Structure 1
């Protein structure tokens, strides 16, 4: 029996190579029981059949596995409990890596406003819904460039510090009746223009809404995927005028509420 199999070890699978191997063997037994050969386990986890035999003997002595006959093994309740404990530890470690480690090295894309060199500290701002980077530490939110860029080129940035200071956008919704209730002809097109001038983008949801902006001689900026697109635009500081047919209205307001985006609904029906 290998020396690393002898005795008990309370270390987790991340600290003990022995327990990592025991964990893999128990998973194989649990997945393929009761008929599972030592060679199959060895092939699955990349160790010798003799090593699997030694580990199985140890697991049987610890009460984690029952042997029912030649090539027939079953995991016990104690073995399942140990697997759950170790799996919880692994899950916590993976969450830590994904949120605290990988999350810190996320790379975002910004639009360079000045010439930027790789490795240089840049200051970030949000303008017209686009993340922008300027060479130097001159603002409240900074990052490190991972690529070089000339002005108006895309640049990768990471290692973010500080707070990006900008206001969320808002959404004004013009409810357009369904065609059964008058459709685009029920909305005053002249009332739309003053509102349009106060917003960065115009979006339409529903054929009645599209017909309404056509009557008003307005080209919409957003026509498809409007629920997600309007929310994202507002999240990036853009004010959006959304014309939505009444049967599309609730899906958009639900999405905006979930995103904590402020909105108002207007009725511009002709009297």
Structure 2
């Protein structure tokens, strides 16, 4: 049985600074073995080379590390088992912090529609694709403000309750032929301009689509990363007109289907 094998396990790496350093050094040895440069380990974890030497001697005495000559070390099975046990402890602690602590104090950002004081209950709505908060906790979705804000400013909110009530947006997709099949000249730009008036956003995908927007005197709201951007806009309640070249069409529709978002593909050929 390893000498004093129980000693390193008396306190975990979260309770003992010595064990935390021992854990880091043992992990460094496992990564670098068999040729171990003590100065490199010291630099990596922020202690002196002499301290590394002292810890190495301790690890050898506990039979967590075997020494095979000057500068040559190897982690033993007992050392590996201890590393695993301490890593499991760290993993469980991180899960606890992530799920039980951070999850309870998650902070989102909204735009204040009224003056809001820190600690005040607020009601939440979704307007123009942006989460809004107003003073008073009487809405279908409520939260608690963690910062103060004037109307129009951003405000931090947490302790959410209820569901923000709003309708998902829809996407109208105009498939634009590739240039060899007519490109922008095959599309009725007047019809495109009319359709743009009843949508919240204009998005383009592909050079042919940019040309169509220009012909209709439209300035696109979304030009880059349009597949993901259009999906997010619809998820936040915005109706989007998407001008999309035929070769990019499936990339956009696949994104929308992933989130069960409504879309239609329309024909506006210039006849």
What TM-score, normalized to structure 2? 0.82
1:70 Cα deviation after fit: 4.3
Conservation of the 8 A alpha-carbon contact between 2:114 and 2:135: yes
1:246 Cα deviation after fit: 1.0
Runs of 4+ in 1 over 4 A off after TM superposition: 4-8, 15-19, 37-43
Any gaps of 5 or more consecutive residues in structure 2?
A: none
Report SS of the residue matched to 1:157: strand
Alignment of 1:5-84 (within 5 A): 7=7, 9=9, 12-14=12-14, 19-36=19-36, 44=45, 46=47, 48=51, 51-52=54-55, 55-60=58-63, 64-84=64-84
Alignment match, 2:148: 148
Cα distance per residue 1:153-205 (max 9 Å; x no partner): 22222332322222221211110101110111111234335533442212122
What TM-score, normalized to structure 1? 0.82
Q: What is the rounded CA distance, in whole Å, between the counterparts of 2:7 and 2:152 in structure 1?
A: 64
Q: What is the rounded CA distance, in whole Å, between the counterparts of 2:186 and 2:173 in structure 1?
A: 16
**CA RMSD, aligned part only?**
3.0
Change (3 A) 1:149 1:39: closer
Tell me which moved more, 173-182 or 154-163.
154-163
Q: What is the rounded CA distance, in whole Å, between the counterparts of 1:263 and 1:213 in structure 2?
A: 20
Alignment of 1:145-184 (within 5 A): 145-184=145-184
Q: What is the rounded CA distance, in whole Å, between the counterparts of 1:124 and 1:80 in structure 2?
A: 51
Residues 1:114 and 2:114 aligned together: yes
Q: What is the rounded CA distance, in whole Å, between the counterparts of 2:219 and 2:40 in structure 1?
A: 64
Alignment match, 1:241: 241
Q: What is the rounded CA distance, in whole Å, between the counterparts of 1:243 and 1:42 in structure 2?
A: 58
Residues 1:269 and 2:269 aligned together: yes
Q: What is the rounded CA distance, in whole Å, between the counterparts of 2:37 and 2:180 in structure 1?
A: 69
Any gaps of 5 or more consecutive residues in structure 1?
A: none
Alignment match, 1:90: 90
Size of the alignment, in residue pairs? 265
Change (3 A) 1:46 1:215: closer
